[in-house]
Amino acid sequence: MYTSDMETNRKRARKTAFVYFLITLFCLLLGAVYEYFSHGVFSYAMIYAFAFPLILCVFPFFLMGTFGIKVYPAPIILGYHHCAMATLTLGSLVYGALEIYGTTNSLVIYYFVVGAALLIAEVITYILQRLFLK
């Protein structure tokens, strides 16, 4: 692995971390505005919707960009990751909106099931990439 490849991987990881940081800020702002106009009713799912991109995206990509990695995740792995984060964050926002509205829906749980399945597929694919592309 060339040094220039590792530097390219660092730049890509930092850029991805920055984009997810902006998404985290957007979710935080959206939750705050929604809570402000909800007439005193609140939902923890709406308040903490920003935690999915922060914990599962900003921190890992920031660490990859800071310490560097030899093998950057393949596009399919990043696709799984982006879809999982979108699904989990959107599921949290939808669940929070329904909770604030005062209703429930049994289909909301599928956001979290599909998001978890995508994360598992991502981890398995990343392990296979690390095993076969050293």
- Which pLDDT does position 3 carry in this prediction? 58
- Which pLDDT does position 27 carry in this prediction? 92
Q: Please state the φ and ψ torsions of residue 50, each to the nearest 5 degrees.
A: -70, -15
- Which pLDDT does position 4 carry in this prediction? 64
* pTM confidence score: 0.86
Evaluate if residue 55 carries a pLDDT over 90. Answer: yes
3-state secondary structure labels for all residues of the chain: CCHHHHHHHHHHHHHHHHHHHHHHHHHHHHHHHHHHCCCCCCCHHHHCCCHHHHHHHHHHHHHHHHHCCCCCCCHHHHHHHHHHHHHHHHHHHHHHHHHHHCCCCHHHHHHHHHHHHHHHHHHHHHHHHHHHCC
Q: Name residue 21's amino acid.
A: F
Place of tokens 């690390």: 130
Please, are residues 26 and 93 in contact by the beta-carbon 8 Å criterion?
A: no
Alpha-carbon dihedral angle through residues 77, 27, 105, 99, given to the nearest 10 degrees: 150
User: Where are the chain's structural domains?
Assistant: 3-132
